[in-house]
Amino acid sequence: MKLSLNVNGDPLEIEAKVNARLLDVLRREGYFGVKHGCDDGTCGACAVLIAPDANSPGKVVNSCMLLAAQVEGMFITTIEGLGGVQQHGWKGTEPLHALQQAFVETGAIQCGYCTPAQILAAKALLDREPNPTEAQVRDALAGVLCRCTGYVKPVEAVLEAASILRGDRRPLAGDLSLPAFDFQSPIPNIQSPNEGEPLIQTRVLPKLVVTPAQTETHIVGKPEVKVDAVKLAQGKPAFTDDIELRGMLH
């Protein structure tokens, strides 16, 4: 059957079997950012955003659980649709979307298999709630299983991206400075509850351990962006299942 879809803003006219799943159709068309994980709706790696029109916010759906025919005429967003000028599923180009950038910079990407789906789930959240709580972020990411990160960094990345998109960039953990402890201030004059009794005042000082001066290094001891983080955040072909030379017979 003939199908008309809109993927990342581009109209797509395709020929597909009646029972073709959206996941398979998108990957066949080169959108390898849509990952093939479990086939039964459990892992969320195949998530895309679906909207009835170009102006409505997308809803997260697992593309392995939908027939392509069910989304005829709808607007589909894959990871290739985020960020700068994207070239039809194969070569995303910078600049990155704030979410992609935050995932790269906070170290939220390990193997990267779940990353496109996590970023899309986060985008759906930020489109409807620009100032989410940590609990809302965790809830939004809960449908995408991640074996690697433990979710700490992805949650941090989403909160960071949200603040950048709102224009009130919150400080990262490394930027936080603790209030200085004033060792010289007088101890408050506290009266004993029993008149005439002596009041014993004590102050427990924290033990300070000063790290000996280190020679400045260029790489060691400094955060580094993962070498393939940008590629993974854009959903570019990176895994064995994604390697397909256009036009090959098998």
Interaction between residue 14 and ligand FES (CB under 6 A): no
Interaction between residue 126 and ligand FES (CB under 6 A): no
Give the one residue of 25, 43, 49, 141 binding ligand FES; rule: CB under 6 A. 43
Instruction: Using the CB atoms, write b or e for 141-179: b if 16+ within 10 Å.
Output: bebbbbeebebebbbbbbbbbbbebeeeeeeeeeeeeee
Interaction between residue 21 and ligand FES (CB under 6 A): no
Residue 65 CB, shortest distance to ligand FES, in Å, is 6
Interaction between residue 70 and ligand FES (CB under 6 A): no
Interaction between residue 59 and ligand FES (CB under 6 A): no
Interaction between residue 42 and ligand FES (CB under 6 A): yes
- Binding segment for ligand FES among 2-10, 25-33, 41-49, 211-219 (CB under 6 A)? 41-49
Nearer to ligand FES, 38 or 142 (CB): 38
Phi and psi torsions of 60, nearest 5°: -75, 125
Task: Write the interaction track for ligand FES spanning residues 92-111; mark x where CB under 6 A is met and - where it is not.
Answer: -----------------xxx
Interaction between residue 39 and ligand FES (CB under 6 A): yes
Interaction between residue 147 and ligand FES (CB under 6 A): yes
Residues 165-224 that bind ligand FES (CB under 6 A): none
Nearer to ligand FES, 148 or 172 (CB): 148
Interaction between residue 46 and ligand FES (CB under 6 A): yes
Residue 39 CB, shortest distance to ligand FES, in Å, is 5
Binding region for ligand FES (CB under 6 A): 36-39, 41-46, 62, 64, 109-115, 146-149
